[in-house]
Chain A
């Protein structure tokens, strides 16, 4: 059974700092990995999708990497802003492509102005 862990559970940083969020998964047989952002009481916003054959994806100040063999992914946020404050979730899609996403419990990020 796939298990996804995100460390740290919470993070507080001053504005402008670069930061890294971690995601690890137990079964390396994944199809893809997706990073989401969730604001309090709201739905999930897709940030980046990395296919299993890819090593990284970039979107603006965000860069996500994937190391399937070690079961790890990182989300790098450059020059953090208060508007980045949210919970960040990673989710893995199994390699059969026929099963649901498995989510981590998230990292709650607060960027202090």
Chain B
């Protein structure tokens, strides 16, 4: 079966712009979580959506937001981009809320802010 699909794979944006990333989970999975990965901070949790509702949120500013659609696809939006937002953004898909079952990750979106 198809895995977790993230689009686009690469993005280059300018400071101050906004960006939207997309994640399509494994068919049948209702939980989508987002993580930011940087060399200095490692993997940091952004937020989790389950059945179109945000369940948990990490310690990120309000510039980071997300949503989930009825087909479980999720989007993440970052407004007013800063240089420090350059990172690999990963989404994880799981059958039920994350932490309780196996999580499957996509290939990530590499965001570069210049």
Contacts and interface: CB of A to CB of B under 8 A. Distances in A.
State yes or no: do A and B come from one complex: yes
Interface residues of A, number: 25
B88 interface: yes
A46 B100 contact: no
B97 A97 contact: yes
Interface of A: 31-32, 34, 36, 41-46, 49, 89, 91, 93-94, 96-101, 103-106
A32 B88 CA distance: 25
Interface residues of B, number: 27
A89 B105 CA distance: 13
Interface stretch (B11-19, B41-49, B63-71, B77-85): B41-49
B56 interface: yes
A49 B55 CA distance: 22
